[in-house]
Amino acid sequence: MTISRRKPAVAFMALALTVGLAITGCSSSSTTPRASGSSDVTGMKVTLLTVSQSCAYCATHTDELKADAQKAGVDLTVVVNEFDAGVQAQQVNQVISTKPDAVILWAADATAILPSLARLKSAKIPVVLTNTHPQTDDTSLWTAYTGPDDTDYGRKAGEAMVTALKAKGQTSGSVVVVTGVPGTPGAINRLKGFTETLEKDAPQVTIAGTQNADWDQTKGTTAAAALLTLYGKDDLVGIYAEADNMLAGAIVAADRAGYKPGDLTMVGSNCSIEGYTNIESGAQQASVLLSPYDDASLAWQATLKVLQGDDVANETFIPPVVITNLNLADCAAAVDK
Amino acid sequence: MTRTSPAPAVLTDVNAGATTGRTRIRALGEWAGDASVIIAVTTVVLFLIACLVVPEFATADNLRALLLSIALVGIAAVGMSVITIVGRLFSLSVSATVAVSTIIFAGALGLGPWFALVIAVAFGAVAGAVQGVLAGRLKADPIVTTIAGAAVMIGIAQIFSEGRTVAGAGDASVFAINIAGVLPMQVLIFLLVTGVAWWIHRFTVLGRKITLVGLNERAAEVSGLRSWPLVIVAFVASGALAGLAGALLASESGQGNLQLGATFGFDAITAVVVGGISVKGGMGNPLNAAVGAFLVGLLSNALVLVGLTYETQLIVKGVLVLFAIIITGVASQAKNGARR
């Protein structure tokens, strides 16, 4: 009885001790002063707030940054949130308390990240955003953004679709689009760029319908199957999926619906391993290269400039490259082939 | 208390007939009041409405696509249903088991598709057994246990795969063939799994024991029935079927990665709940989970063909899940009331 009565008191004391240690002990971590114009970044602390280690692209992106940091002698801490914007917001608060010299941040959500960016700015911690552009025009919230311009990636995919159709002598017809998570900048902007290009370069080719598949291969199969049921009997000439893994699902659906490779023009994006394999086999006609190595490399270059106190461009975009079976080798490095 | 005046034979027959009739009517009422029966009838009605009203729905191609879209989730849901029936709520490690199984299948594909399939299923069974021991023998909370199990599986798989996609070295097209030119292999496997699971649950001692433990574990133990081996069996079944779903998923593209099947866990839970299986355990059978998977797939397919927006589809699906939960709750209360 005595022990059980004392339990709350013991628990309270343990909590108080923990909080006390957290306040006094943990606050002893010091910030290394940035040497303006100095090229020596050894020992500086950088935190990478990234989204996942379960997706191939994300894992490669992280590994590349780790290798770059090790080479430069920078102490890189990796924090993962598994695409959870709420968790990322908490992680940002923790990172602010550790006062790193810079933060490399891959936003789990392009809108939800905005308050966290404001907090980082208030704490005067330089932020290099990578891969996902926040959904705001206020570019003062970050020091540098490096990554894709999704509208441009959509445009390039549109160009690839038009080129492939013209090569088959098809100047009219309809295409369907399998998109990512509805409402996210990547999904919206890639579709926007793709639509703009079709309207400009092939006005006789129309978009019959779109269906979201949330960047998921299995959902890509289901979404494409529904689109093929709806529009397959019309003048359907192609499918555009905003990511190669979703297109891999769409290719499965087309195969099940009786289409043979080449019957429909298949264009994806990112040139991930799924796209590489399908282009190699002839099931897919084109993709738009987004290499995790290029993505990470640009982010690291910007981070180095920040650490060295040099000027850095507020926005640097990865130039999109259309990949077909003619230049598939250009994609090989991105998929570790 | 001797019988002084035996009732006339005719009267006896009439009374017997009336009793049998009342029993039948009561049984019919109980049957019709069963949540899973209501869901099954709803599914048939919706299917018929879709056939009549939704353009392009009742075509052979679309129905085949519909069955293929639910086959793998259905397999995972049938496995999940055994855990729910035995009274251990849900497994939150199904998605992780499916994902890791895709990698194992792709990695072993060079040794032959059937061998790779067996290895993936075996992995799922072992993963399920470990969690079953924790949830059954050690009485650990099944939700926490399976969350931890998922984390361990994903972590280990990340170490070995480095988070990258594993491309299979062999040909897995044997799982993409159509039986008799009509029935896709995946759908056949789904039907077989459902049939066997239903038969075991309905006609074997094992199935009865699992139901009894789910209905009242304490009563089962008092009557001499050890519950923990049955909990392990349920987790092994769920894990093995998640492994099977993962292997078949990987066979579609010959590749595996940790993001494949990410939605399978939630979809399987939805199928179990929508199918009318009580989350309290003991009520329902694996066939209900298959019906639930079919109903969700049917709605998804029909709503797209009708041309509803994504937002509207979400609302309709959410309402469906609520409807199923309410029906299950009302039916459960009615049954308990009738027992009292």
Contact B304 A211 (CB under 8 A): yes
CB contact under 8 Å between A54 and B154, yes or no, is: yes
β-pairing, A102-105 with A45-50?
A: parallel
> Does the domain at residues B78-329 carry the CATH identifier 1.10.3470?
yes
Percent of chain B whose pLDDT exceeds 70: 88
DSSP string, A316-328: EEPPPEEE-TTST
Assess whether pLDDT exceeds 70 at residue A12: no
Q: Where are the domains of chain B?
A: 78-329
**How do beta strands B183-184 and B178-179 pair?**
antiparallel
pLDDT (average), residues B73-87: 97
User: Taking CB atoms and an 8 Å limit, are A229 and B59 in contact across chains?
Assistant: yes
Taking the domains of chain A in order of start, what are their residue ranges? 32-147+293-319, 150-289
Interchain proximity B164–A256, CB inside 8 Å: no
Asked if B60 is an interface residue toward chain A (Cβ–Cβ < 8 A), one would say: no
What's the rounded Cα separation, in Å, for the pair A284 and B95? Answer: 28
Residues of B in contact with A252 (CB under 8 A): 252-253
Label residue A29 by pLDDT band (50, 70, 90). very low
- Res B223 pLDDT > 50: yes
A124 or B35, which is more confident: A124
Q: pLDDT grade, residue A182 (50/70/90)? A: confident
**Is B69 close to A258, i.e. CB distance below 8 A?**
no
Ordered DSSP codes for B230-297:
HHHHHHHHHHHHHHHHHHHHHHHHTEE-TTTTTTHHHHHHHHHHHTT--TTSSS--HHHHHHHHHHHH
Q: H/E element holding A145?
A: strand A144-147
**Candidate from A217, A226, A248 with C-beta closest to B304:** A226
Is-same-fold flag (A32-147+293-319; A150-289)? yes
Query: Residue A193 pLDDT more than 90?
Result: yes
Q: Is A165 exposed, middle or buried (0-12, 13-18, 19+ CB in 10 A)?
A: buried
B260–chain A Cβ distance below 8 A for any pair? yes
Q: For residue B36, what pLDDT is reported? A: 82
Q: B257, A59: Cβ pair inside 8 Å?
A: no
User: Chain A partners of B254 at a C-beta cutoff of 8 Å?
Assistant: 277
Six token digits for residue B317: 């699906």
Q: Which of A222, A252, A293 to mutate to test the interface with B (most CBs of B within 10 A)?
A: A222
Whether the predicted pLDDT of A122 surpasses 70 = yes
Strands B255-256 and B166-167 come out as antiparallel
Indicate the pLDDT class of residue A333, thresholds 50, 70 and 90. confident
The average pLDDT across B175-201 equals 94
A245 pLDDT exceeds 70?
yes
> What's the pLDDT score for residue A202?
96
Domain A32-147+293-319 class in CATH: alpha beta
Contact status of B259 with chain A (Cβ, < 8 Å): yes
Q: Of B63, B64, B66, B69, which to mutate for an interface test with A (greatest number of A Cβ within 10 Å)?
A: B69
Mean pLDDT of B159-174: 88
Residue B332 near chain A (CB below 8 Å): no
- Fold annotation for A150-289: Rossmann fold (3.40.50)
Of B61, B165, B249, the CB nearest to A273: B165
Interval A246-295: pLDDT, tens: 999 999 999 999 999 999 999 999 999 999 999 999 999 999 999 999 99
Kindly indicate the confidence band of residue B22, based on its pLDDT and cuts at 50, 70 and 90.
Answer: low
Q: Average model confidence (pLDDT) for chain A?
A: 89
Cβ separation A256–B64 shorter than 8 A:
yes
CA distance A292 to B165: 14
CB contact under 8 A, B69 and A221: yes
C-alpha distances in angstroms, B65 versus A221, A229, B68, B118, B182? Answer: 9, 9, 5, 26, 12
Contact A257 B65 (CB under 8 A): yes
pLDDT tens digits for range B106-146: 999 999 999 999 999 999 999 999 999 999 999 999 999 99
pLDDT value at B306 more than 50: yes
Structure confidence at residue B317 (pLDDT): 78
A238: phi then psi, degrees, rounded to nearest 5: -165, 165
Give the distance from residue A56's alpha carbon to the nearest chain B alpha carbon, in angstroms.
4
Model ipTM? 0.75
Cβ-defined contact of A222 to B162 (cutoff 8 Å): no
B64: contact with A, CB 8 A cutoff: yes
